[in-house]
Structures are given as C-alpha cells and as structure tokens.
Structure 1
Amino acid sequence: MAPCLVLLSLWLLVGCCLTQGTGASGIDIAANLGSVLPTLSRPANASRIFYGVMFDAGSTGTRIHIYTFILSAPDELPVLDNEMFHNVKPGLSAFADTPEIAGETVRQLLRVAKKTVPRLEWKRTPVVLRATAGLRLLPPKKAQALLDQVQDAFDESPFLVPEDSVTIMNGTSEGILAWVTVNYLTGHLQAKSKTTAGILDLGGGSTQITFLPKLKKTTESAPADHIAKFDLLTTTYKLYSHSYLGNGIKAARLAALGALGAEGLEWKVFKSSCLPKKFQEDWGFGGLVYKISGIHDGYAGYRLCYLEMERVVKGIVHQPYELKDSSVFYAFSYYFDIAAAAGLIDESQGGMVKVSDFKRRAKEVCNKMAKHRVESPFLCMDITYITCLLKDGFGFKDHTVLQLTKKVKTVETSWALGAMLDHFQSIRIH
C-alpha cells in the first residue's frame, strides 16, 4: 500500500501545480512576465500578484519605488496594492566625475528592493531606471558613464533586467507619466471619467505642466511640441504637455544668478537681490560649486527679486489658452516642499493653496529676509520664482486653487508609477 500512496500523492501534487498557476481572470501573470515559479509555497492568488521596481534618478536625489500589483481583468489596469519608497541624496549627476560612486548608490537601493520583494519573485520582477533633468543637463559622455555604472549594478542583481532598462527620459514622457500617475490614483483612468486632473511638477532641473484640454482652441494655439497623444488600453488621450529644461527650482536659481553655463567658477561670485544682503556661501548643484551672495551694499526685497525671476520665465514658458477655474491641478515635488517651508501647508498633510497665497507669502519673506537667513536663505528666491512661474509663466489667475500633495492614497505623486504602468501596459506616446 505504501508505494500506491506515494504515487497517489505525486499525482495530486502535479495536478495542483497544473491548476494553481492561473488566477480568477484566466490570465497567468507569471507567463506574461516570462517565467513560471513554484506556487505551492505561495498564496492561492499568487499568480495574480506581481512586482515592479522603478528608480527615479532626479537632479537632487535617487529614489526607488517598489510596487506590488494585483492583476485585474484583461482589459483593465492592474490594481496597485502597495508601494515601498526610499531615497538617497545627492542625485547621480553629482557624481559626474566619479561615476563609480553612482553605481554604489544604486546597489544600496537594490538592497532595499531585495528586502521588499519576496525571493521567489526576484527573477521575474523588472528593475528599471529613468533619469531626468539632472542627467539631461550633463555632457552626453558624462551622462553615459553614469548610466553604464547603473547598468552594471542592475546586471549583477538577481532581478529581471529588461531591454532599455537604464535610460534618460525625455521631458514630454516625464509630464505625461506624472499625469497618468495622478489620474490612475484618483480613479479617473479606471472609471474612464471625462473629468481629469492636471499636474504641475517642479523638479531641480526641469518643470512640467500636463492637462487634458477641454477647448479645441487650446490645442490649436499651442506650439506643436506642446501637444502629445498616448494610447492606454482602448483609449487615446490628447494632452497639453511640456517640460521646461532649465526651469526647475535649482536651475532657476542659477539662471537668476547668471551662473547657468558660466565659466571660471573658482573666482566668480554670483549675486542676487533675492538673497539676504550679508549672505555668502559655496553652493553645489549638478557636480559644480558656485560662490553666491546677496548684494551687500545694494537693495533687496520682493520687487527686485520678482524682476530677476521674470527674466527666467518670460519668453520661455508658454501660456496655455485654457486654464479654467474648474480645472483641478495637483502640484507636487518642490511646489510642495517650498510651500511647506514657507508655512503655507502642513508638511505631513499638504493642502489647497491659491496662487495669491504664494504671492502674499513671497512678499512677507522677501521683505524680511534677515529673519530667514540661517535656516532658509533661498526661501525668498524660491517662493518668488514659483509665484512668477505660475502667474507670468503658465498664466494662472491669483484666485486659482492648487492641490499641493506629496502622496495620493499613500502613494508618491511622481511620474514613477506611470512609468511602471508603461512598462507593463506599453503606453504608446506619439
């Protein structure tokens, strides 16, 4: 009887293996991702659970987003079950002359991924890195050296490394994928709602605006490269979207100081009316160090600072024809950070802020700069730049209300989730 029992057990075991790999939807996500893994030691719905690891290589830091998805119906987007987020500073561009350190930065974050993703899932979990303005601003050879180090770190890892897993993302994709993230998290994509949210993203090196126009004149009057289409499942979206390289908060500081692209940095001092008069400091960005100061024997304050910021915005940023009061815009990244530093929102919760609130607070800060000199010497410059960008750049009215947030439903508001969905769903941008 014992041999028969053994054979019966083996038969049942094989039958279990053959039937468990498919979820309720009838689709085997393991097959979709290119491998079949043991199922007996995993939950009954394990074939419907999958993971993705997205690296956001920004100008001021490198962030890792580790997503857990649950497969839904074939004609629907997957459900996001969880996100693990971690970041390190500075950004990869700070290691332009020592690219091997960039590789170690990525290896450090990969260790976080190994602790988060179950070991059995490593071989089918894709790791992807998309670099943004920090690397777009570097000379091509230096940027490529950094990407090569990242690629080496990926190839050494136990994760799935897709083709084109390490690239520099263009600004249009950055804006569109951030829009996808916000509208996915707010339910506008799943419900195929006619109402969507616009996004305003302010990074260190670039800034993006993306929204779904309601008026035909908006698309007709826009420059050709400000309109982009993309396909998602069975829907084609036509967005107003543009990224302004050099108009991120850190790059705008350099532009206002007249330091962007300047030579002879070791002996030049760059001055601004937006800085406290007695302020002087060596400040680093993008792997370079700049000597900056206030104007010791001159004037400072909001009016003069605003004039400096206008030169960074006017004639560069296009004003869309349509920015209606009814439109909802989510603003994040440095919009959020600077509003929190200025006391306009609670740092843990975010909140609704009018454009006029930025203007009012900029006047208060800039006209009493000595008060903020130690803890935040750039606060006047940064909040005045945001005011100018919103008003004279994009053309928002004073009474326009923005939703400032770091997270929507506990998930980071950035392009990273949209990029991960792009990897699995092949969002076709054209």
Structure 2
Amino acid sequence: MPCLARWLVLLTLLSHSAAQENVGIGLDLSVGVEGVLPSLARPANASRIFHGIVFDAGSTGTRIHVYTFIQKDPELPLLEKETFQSVKPGLSAYADTPETAGETVRQLLRVAKKAVPHVEWERTPVVLRATAGLRLLPPKKAQALLDEVEVAFEESPFFVPDNSVHIMNGTDEGILAWVTVNFLTGQLQAKTKKTVGTLDLGGASTQITFLPKFKKTIESAPPDHIARFDLLSTTYELYTHSYLGNGIKAARLTALGALGAEGLERKVFESSCLSRKFREDWSFGGLTYKISGIPDGSTGFTECYKEMLKVVKGVIHQPPELQDSNTFYAFSYYFDIAVEAGLIDERRGGMVKVQDYSIRAKEVCNKLSMYLATKPFLCMDITYITCLLKDGFGFKDETILKLTQKVNNVETSWALGAIFDYFQNIKIH
C-alpha cells in the first residue's frame, strides 16, 4: 500500500495542527440518518475551506461521507465537519438492474450538493470504493454497476478524478482499519511497537489484522496473510487477511447450504438456528432465498453450533499467538450483534470477553420463540460470531475485545483515510 505512509503523515499533521489551534477532529455517523456535526472552532486566519466526497459501497448499504476541511496555509488541512447518510440495500442487490444503482448514487449526491457550497462543486472530488458485496459478484455484473456509478458521477457537478470508482482490495480494507485505529489510539505515534489488533465483520467478508509479537506467527502464516510497509520511519510486518464469504450475512447462506445453490424459487433452506415457526423470504446480494426453521427438528445452541462450525472449520487460519493476550478492537457486526444481544450499550460500546458471546448465544438459542417476532436471526448470528472467534481464529474464552464504532469520536472506517489519501496525490489550489 504505497500511499499509507503519506496518509498517516497527513493524519499526524492534522492532529498536531488541531492541538496547536485547540481545534479537534470529531465525527458523528448515525447510520441511515443524515448527521451534520456542529462546526468546530475555526481558526481566525484560516485561508479557505474545501471538501471531499467518499462513497462506501458495502454489501448491505451505500454510504456517503461529505468531509469539510480547513486549509490553513502553510499547514495541512483540519477536518471541520462531516455530513453522512446511508441507503439500503447495497449496490450488489441491483446486480440484474444496474441502472437502479445509478439512481441510488444520484439520490446520495443530492446530499452532497446540499452539504457543499455551489461555488465549490466543480473542485470537490468524489470517489466510490466498493467492498465485498461487489467482490462476490461475477465480474461482468460488478463492472456494470460501477459503470452506472461512473455515469452518475459524470453527470454530477463535482470533480471526478481518474480511477474515481473501483472495488477495494480486501487486504487494503483490513490494513486501513488497523492503521486508523492504531493512529487514533496513539499507538503509532509511540516509539514502542505496542499496537492493537483489529477485527472487522461485514455482511460479505471479515478481516483480521494485527502486528505479530512472535516470529513463528509470520513463519507459519500463508504468504498472502503477511503485509509489509513503511510507516513513520518504521517497517511494519502485519498479519492480515480478508475472508470473502465469511461476513455475517454470507455466513447465514453458507450454513443453510444456500450459497451458490440453484433452484432458489423452489427450494426452502432450513436451519436449527431458527424457530420452528419461522418462515421468510430473505434477500442478499440481489437474490431471494426461502428460509425456515425445521418444523419437526431439533433446535437450540448445540445444534446451531454444529451448523455454524461448518462455515469456519478448515477455512479460517489460526495464528498461534492469538492464544496470548493481544488487544483487539472489534467493530461493524461484532458491535451491532453485541448491541442486539444486550451485551453492550449502543452509545458507549464496551469491553466483552469472547465467552460473553458464547454465554449469550446459549441463552438466545435455547429460547428461540422469544425472539421470533423481533430478532429471528439473532441465535444464528451470535453463534456464528462465537464460532468465528473461537474455532475460526482461535481466541481464548478469556480474551477481551473492545467493541466500538468510534475511537476518540472518529468512526472506525476506511472512508476518511480514502479521501486523505486522495488529497495527498493532488495539489490543492
């Protein structure tokens, strides 16, 4: 990732400038609802304001981030505020009707037109990065969606740079999350190599990234699980991998035997993780599946665990040192399912042990009827997370995870890094 070093230098200068001017960097992303931060204190001698627009095309939704920066010459920019909005489903749901994906993007571009002053439109860059939802699609269908996005961008009044629209590499996604969290927690600025690991669980893929403590971790890892790069005069050798198809929504389909199955309009996929009374048409990635509980079959945690174990066993590589006390931040669906299960507070987040997921999974799965109306997939999802952490990655029950959506009021997302990276490659006038 050749741009990582330049990006972090920019972040460091942003943080340093904020401290000098007593100006903070703060984001408040509320999924599905437009949220504009109150403007932070603006330096009196700020030379000008500029903007950047990033679309995050995920598997379950498309999100727009409109960033407003202050350029204080000769220092690098300060982040003043962010406007955010999300729409569902993700672009991959329109694999057979790509023109609808273009309309989704046009809808969100209207948010950008309201957030960015008219006089700034033509010099405000707009970029879209797609993640695992599009990586799962056949290449021709994915490209058709990207083509529609490009048309929408070209019709907009904003500046469309070269390579404005593309599918993000899964490894880049994991590394950017690791760099973001370790920068925001102050680990990268320290002289020691004490860092935190990151666990990201999306709808279609999951990523794990950490800095190994032991040489044997690197030596025993598959070659594509190790990434090396220079950052702040330090060479980092990370263990990182993205597992496509092991996101929480894709895991449901794999456990059901529905992923890649034919005859979807006729076949009903059954699971012991669901209430015997459950029957529903469920859509993901542009396809609709008929899903139900097993009317006369066994249900409960033990049976559900057997189903979910098939999704991770022999698929997920186990780094040996995860048996030790590495510190990990976990976000996305790790956070969302913990909130849904009542393990943490949605506003504050919190610390949980791996065994907390397991204990709660047993409670939920053994009382499926209680959750039939409101949270029918909770047993399946929390059991999958338990399997992924314990039997997949090999974490101990006692391992503590920090569940969070934000670090120091900044979203744990690659989107901000993407626009910083872009601005590092152009000269702002």
Q: TM-score range by the shorter chain?
A: 0.7 to 0.9
The one-letter code of the counterpart of 1:396 is: F
Residues 116 and 312 (structure 1), Cα distance of their counterparts in 2 relative to 1, 3 Å cut: same
User: Does structure 2 conserve the Cα–Cα contact (< 8 Å) formed by 1:257 and 1:271?
Assistant: yes
* TM-fit CA distance, 1:160: 1.9
The one-letter code of the counterpart of 1:269 is: V
Whole-Å separation in 2 of the counterparts to 1:368 and 1:302: 9
Where does residue 35 of structure 1 map in the other structure?
none
- Say yes or no: does 1:51 pair with 2:57: no
Residues 277 and 409 (structure 1), Cα distance of their counterparts in 2 relative to 1, 3 Å cut: same
* TM-fit CA distance, 1:234: 4.2
How many residues are paired up? 384
Q: How does 1:259-298 map to 2 (within 5 A)?
A: 259-298=258-297
Whole-Å separation in 2 of the counterparts to 1:358 and 1:221: 29
TM-score w.r.t. length of structure 2: 0.85
Where does residue 350 of structure 1 map in the other structure?
349
Moved more, 96-105 or 244-253: 96-105
User: Does structure 2 conserve the Cα–Cα contact (< 8 Å) formed by 1:54 and 1:66?
Assistant: yes
The one-letter code of the counterpart of 1:162 is: P
Where does residue 128 of structure 2 map in the other structure?
129
User: Does structure 2 conserve the Cα–Cα contact (< 8 Å) formed by 1:329 and 1:403?
Assistant: yes
- Say yes or no: does 1:155 pair with 2:159: no
Moved more, 254-263 or 154-163: 154-163
Whole-Å separation in 2 of the counterparts to 1:389 and 1:107: 37
Where does residue 86 of structure 2 map in the other structure?
87
User: Does structure 1 conserve the Cα–Cα contact (< 8 Å) formed by 2:46 and 2:72?
Assistant: no
Residues 169 and 293 (structure 1), Cα distance of their counterparts in 2 relative to 1, 3 Å cut: same
Where does residue 8 of structure 1 map in the other structure?
none
Where does residue 212 of structure 2 map in the other structure?
213
User: Does structure 2 conserve the Cα–Cα contact (< 8 Å) formed by 1:177 and 1:416?
Assistant: no
Structure 2: any 5+ residue segments left out of the alignment? 1-16, 18-42
User: Does structure 1 conserve the Cα–Cα contact (< 8 Å) formed by 2:200 and 2:334?
Assistant: yes
Whole-Å separation in 2 of the counterparts to 1:101 and 1:190: 44
The one-letter code of the counterpart of 2:60 is: T
Deviations 1:46-104 (A, max 9, x none): 34x54321111001000112223456899x98654433221110000111111111111
The one-letter code of the counterpart of 2:302 is: R
1:293 alignment partner, SS class? strand
1:323 alignment partner, SS class? helix
User: Does structure 2 conserve the Cα–Cα contact (< 8 Å) formed by 1:180 and 1:418?
Assistant: no
The one-letter code of the counterpart of 2:107 is: Q
User: Does structure 1 conserve the Cα–Cα contact (< 8 Å) formed by 2:47 and 2:71?
Assistant: no
Whole-Å separation in 1 of the counterparts to 2:76 and 2:195: 17
Whole-Å separation in 2 of the counterparts to 1:77 and 1:225: 35
Q: How does 1:30-429 map to 2 (within 5 A)?
A: 44-47=45-48, 49-70=49-70, 79-191=78-190, 194-232=193-231, 234-323=233-322, 325-425=324-424
* TM-fit CA distance, 1:291: 0.5
* TM-fit CA distance, 1:45: 1.6
The one-letter code of the counterpart of 2:312 is: V
User: Does structure 1 conserve the Cα–Cα contact (< 8 Å) formed by 2:46 and 2:70?
Assistant: no
Whole-Å separation in 2 of the counterparts to 1:160 and 1:192: 40
Whole-Å separation in 1 of the counterparts to 2:318 and 2:362: 24
* TM-fit CA distance, 1:285: 0.5
Whole-Å separation in 2 of the counterparts to 1:46 and 1:118: 16
Deviations 1:138-182 (A, max 9, x none): 111111111011111111222221111100111111111111222
2:151 alignment partner, SS class? helix
Whole-Å separation in 2 of the counterparts to 1:355 and 1:78: 40
TM-score w.r.t. length of structure 1: 0.84
Deviations 1:124-149 (A, max 9, x none): 32211111111111111111111011
Whole-Å separation in 2 of the counterparts to 1:244 and 1:155: 33
Where does residue 38 of structure 1 map in the other structure?
none
Where does residue 5 of structure 2 map in the other structure?
none
* TM-fit CA distance, 1:325: 4.9
User: Does structure 2 conserve the Cα–Cα contact (< 8 Å) formed by 1:57 and 1:132?
Assistant: yes
CA RMSD of aligned residues (A): 2.2
Whole-Å separation in 2 of the counterparts to 1:420 and 1:196: 24
Residues 73 and 246 (structure 1), Cα distance of their counterparts in 2 relative to 1, 3 Å cut: farther
Whole-Å separation in 2 of the counterparts to 1:229 and 1:70: 33
Whole-Å separation in 2 of the counterparts to 1:112 and 1:84: 8
1:236 alignment partner, SS class? strand
2:321 alignment partner, SS class? coil
Structure 1: any 5+ residue segments left out of the alignment? 1-23, 25-41
Where does residue 16 of structure 1 map in the other structure?
none
2:351 alignment partner, SS class? strand
User: Does structure 2 conserve the Cα–Cα contact (< 8 Å) formed by 1:328 and 1:402?
Assistant: yes
Deviations 1:212-240 (A, max 9, x none): 22222211111000011234454432211
Residues 328 and 52 (structure 1), Cα distance of their counterparts in 2 relative to 1, 3 Å cut: farther
Whole-Å separation in 1 of the counterparts to 2:156 and 2:192: 40
User: Does structure 1 conserve the Cα–Cα contact (< 8 Å) formed by 2:323 and 2:394?
Assistant: no
Residues 109 and 223 (structure 1), Cα distance of their counterparts in 2 relative to 1, 3 Å cut: same
Whole-Å separation in 1 of the counterparts to 2:211 and 2:121: 37
Quote the sequence identity (%).
74
The one-letter code of the counterpart of 2:363 is: E
Whole-Å separation in 2 of the counterparts to 1:242 and 1:258: 24
Where does residue 9 of structure 1 map in the other structure?
none
Whole-Å separation in 2 of the counterparts to 1:208 and 1:299: 32
Residues 77 and 189 (structure 1), Cα distance of their counterparts in 2 relative to 1, 3 Å cut: farther
Whole-Å separation in 2 of the counterparts to 1:67 and 1:239: 29
The one-letter code of the counterpart of 2:67 is: Y
